[in-house]
Amino acid sequence: MDWKIGVDIGGTFMDFCALEQSTGRVASLKVLTTPDDPGAELLEGLRLLAVREGLEPSTVSHFVHGTTVGINTIIQRKGARLALITNAGFEDVIELARLRMPEMYSLFCHRPDPLIPRDMIFGIPARMRADGSETAVPDDAAIATALSRAQAAGAEGVIVALLHSWRDGRQEAAVKARVEALAPDLFVFTSSEVWPVIREYERTSTAILNGYVHPRVSGYLSALEDRLAGQGVPARAMLTKSNGGLMTAGEGRRDCVSMLLSGTASGVIGASWLARQAGEARILTLDIGGTSADFALIVDGEVQFGTDELIGEFPLHIPSVSVSSIGIGGGSIASVDGQGVLRVGPESAGSNPGPACYARGGTRATVTDAMAVCGWLGHSQMAYGQLSMDVALARQAVGVLADALGRGVEETAQAILDIAVSEMFVEVEKLSSRAGVDLRDFALMPFGGGGPMLGAFLARELGMSRVIAPRRPGVVSALGGLVADLRGDFIRTVFADLGVSLAEPFRALADEGRAWLTAQGHRGPADLRLSADMRYAGQSYEIETDLQPAWLDDPARMARAFHETHARIYDFHDPDGRIEIVNLRLSAIGAGPKPEFPVEAADPSPATAQRHVPVHLGSLRDVPLYDRAALCSGATFHGPAIVAQEDTTFAIPGGASARVDAHLNIHLTFAE
């Protein structure tokens, strides 16, 4: 068995990145998604890899899949009808949430409707104190009554979330056992088994997200495993997780919430690995697909992690790669609103019917159509020969908007692109402000099918002087699955003053992490990374502070680490302040072998253009078109220019100088 395959599915394409381990040869592919028959694109991709690359399914030793089925279920609100069993008197926890409006300065915004309506929430007599002592055990008759009402209302699953289950989950476990005995046809999740963290809203909402997507995720993964087995693939299916790691598909059927940001996280992991190969430590990633643009920061070579990432309209409270998203993609539809204002997104044409220029039935202008009208696209086949660009159809679609605006077609197309870049600019500025970084110190790495089309224009607007385009930007997220490690995150709420010994809870977490890695099939050493959520006494929220196991019995060293972290984030600290530890966290990482890509010797020389093509740059100008496959290490050229390749098109504005490095990445530098 010689092949490793990484697969990532987006709104328009399913991407494949395959590595032949014996030779280091990399094969990549894009296949149009099939929304009406999910999974058919996987079979088509395997068939094409067999035809084009000689990849026999029986030789696949490693298969990693990133999917958007979970997050799409939430965004589209097509999840399971759930019932929530909680403590009597606490039925309004998910409705109250944190009493914050999504937009604090808007008089017209509103909070999203909860995923479980109020009439599906049932309170039962039960009470556990914060110290773990019981004052009222769960009432069996109340459970039976709640369950009967839930079933009558069409519940497909039950979430159990009781007070203080972070301290002790036995009351939730008792309720779950009772529900399973009375209604074995319903699935049940408890908040303490999903994510046993203090604060009932965060714990409850995380369990709800897990249950809401469970039927669709579980069905999708079961079908995935069946399809792979039917094709003769012997490899166990692995999934990319929101935290940038991997887990088995079997684990994913239960721990659905951990894979909600599967695809976006995988892209950042792939970009981080490529950045290290290129010798870059500070990167802003830009992943543009058919529906959205995703941004993330890589600081000093490290991917940034966080909690409270938004999944649609809902916060995700488990650790995940920190990614910001906006509804601007290659398929984003442009329109003129009732006030005569041109707008772009968030509605997307997807893969069916797709942009007008795909000639698949789409008639509404998209960002891709605007690129074609301006001349950046339409000079070569796209998506590994699966698509041909029909510029006339793109002009027709953009022309409808041009007539409404009283502008020329090219002028309208350029306006669409300017708006798309402007929308991304605003989102990136928010990201850099939150992180407290100066983007002029970073290089932009665009990837995805649309990233290279717009990335250089965004970098120029942001004042960034460097852009790095990977060799295969269209399949970076699929590559991320091949370079990711097994990673499991575990948490234990301790809620104590600094000074209490943490050795025992850490030992329990370490045992849990090692057992998880073993269950995932890892047989090598475990890399255990420890941190704690800490705060000054009286603060409402805590910050995550990296720790070392040797510090667990050294409160002074832990305090110093917290003071330093607090000062770095907020620019001040209180050396005499009393410190509390709320949660102890552990990441268990099982590193796997990484691919070795060949390095080419440099031959510095000007690149040779394949031909010149007309591009609208205020007026029509002939610009050089380069074939990416013909660009060798050391080649140089200048913008404006176009680099065409099988998985995307790299649009390079004027004022940029380009150089190809030994890994065949293209480095752009803008003049100061």
The string of pLDDT tens digits covering residues 54-90 is: 889 899 999 999 887 888 788 778 899 999 999 999 9
Q: Note whether residue 221 is domain-resident.
A: no
Lowest mean pLDDT among 256-265, 289-298, 375-384, 527-536: 375-384
pLDDT in the model for residue 34: 77
Domain residues for the domain of 580 are: 486-590
pLDDT in the model for residue 672: 66
pLDDT in the model for residue 440: 92
pLDDT in the model for residue 76: 76
Q: Note whether residue 548 is domain-resident.
A: yes
Mean pLDDT computed over 244-255: 90
Q: Give the list of residues 6+ apart from residue 392 with CB closer than 8 angstroms, or none.
A: none
Among 174, 199, 216, which residue terminates a domain?
216
The backbone torsions φ and ψ at residue 194, rounded to the nearest 5 degrees and listed phi first, read -80, -55
Q: What is the 3-state secondary structure (H, E, C) of 552-614?
A: CCCHHHHHHHHHHHHHHHHCCCCCCCCEEEEEEEEEEEECCCCCCCCCCCCCCEECCCCEEEE
Q: Note whether residue 528 is domain-resident.
A: yes
CA-based nearest residue to 309, from 293, 326, 321 = 321
Distance between start and end Cα atoms, the chain: 51
- For the cut 80, the answer to whether the pLDDT of residue 353 exceeds it is yes
Instruction: Give the model confidence (pLDDT) of 622-656 as tens digits.
Output: 999 999 999 999 999 998 999 999 888 999 999 99
Distance CA 357, CA 354 (A): 8
pLDDT in the model for residue 664: 92
Q: Note whether residue 120 is domain-resident.
A: yes
pLDDT in the model for residue 451: 93
272 to each of 287, 480, 484, 489, how far by Cα in Å? 13, 9, 10, 20
Q: Note whether residue 640 is domain-resident.
A: no
Q: Give the whole-number percent of the chain exceeding pLDDT 70.
A: 98
Question: Both tokens of residue 276?
Answer: 């290290």
Distance CA 602, CA 134 (A): 71
Q: Are 307 and 316 in contact (CB under 8 A)?
A: yes
Mean pLDDT computed over 406-428: 95
- List, as one string, the DSSP characters of 479-547: HHHHHPPEEEEEEEEEEEEBTB--HHHHHHHHHHHHHHHHHTT--S--EEEEEEEEEETT-SS-EEEEE
Instruction: Give the model confidence (pLDDT) of 444-465 as tens digits.
Output: 999 988 999 999 999 999 999 9
Among 216, 244, 274, which residue terminates a domain?
216
Question: Both tokens of residue 646?
Answer: 């099988």
pLDDT grade for 400, boundaries at 50, 70 and 90: very high
- List, as one string, the DSSP characters of 411-457: HHHHHHHHHHHHHHHHHHHHHHHHHT--GGGSEEEEETTTHHHHHHH
Q: Note whether residue 6 is domain-resident.
A: no
- For the cut 90, the answer to whether the pLDDT of residue 306 exceeds it is no
Q: Note whether residue 462 is domain-resident.
A: no
pLDDT grade for 96, boundaries at 50, 70 and 90: confident
Lowest mean pLDDT among 96-105, 366-375, 542-551, 638-647: 96-105
User: What mean pLDDT value characterizes the chain?
Assistant: 90
pLDDT in the model for residue 596: 76
pLDDT grade for 618, boundaries at 50, 70 and 90: confident
- For the cut 80, the answer to whether the pLDDT of residue 123 exceeds it is yes
- For the cut 90, the answer to whether the pLDDT of residue 108 exceeds it is no
pLDDT grade for 105, boundaries at 50, 70 and 90: confident
Instruction: Give the model confidence (pLDDT) of 285-301 as tens digits.
Output: 999 988 888 899 999 88
pLDDT in the model for residue 453: 95
pLDDT in the model for residue 336: 93
pTM of the model as a whole:
0.88
Mean pLDDT computed over 279-285: 94
Q: At what angle do helices 391-405 and 409-435 cross, to 10 degrees?
A: 90
- For the cut 90, the answer to whether the pLDDT of residue 264 exceeds it is no
- For the cut 90, the answer to whether the pLDDT of residue 102 exceeds it is no
Give how many domains the chain has, as a whole number: 2
Mean pLDDT computed over 36-62: 87
Distance CA 173, CA 169 (A): 6
Lowest mean pLDDT among 144-153, 277-286, 380-389: 380-389
361/417: higher pLDDT = 417
156/199: higher pLDDT = 156
pLDDT grade for 98, boundaries at 50, 70 and 90: confident
Instruction: Give the model confidence (pLDDT) of 465-521 as tens digits.
Output: 999 999 999 889 999 999 999 999 999 998 889 988 888 899 999 999 999 999 998
Determine how many CB atoms are found less than 10 A away from the CB of residue 599: 12
Among 187, 216, 245, which residue terminates a domain?
216
pLDDT in the model for residue 101: 67
pLDDT in the model for residue 31: 86
Mean pLDDT computed over 204-220: 93
pLDDT in the model for residue 604: 87
CATH of the domain at 507: 3.30.1490
Q: Are 274 and 476 in contact (CB under 8 A)?
A: yes
pLDDT grade for 1, boundaries at 50, 70 and 90: low
pLDDT grade for 184, boundaries at 50, 70 and 90: very high
Mean pLDDT computed over 183-208: 93
Q: Note whether residue 539 is domain-resident.
A: yes
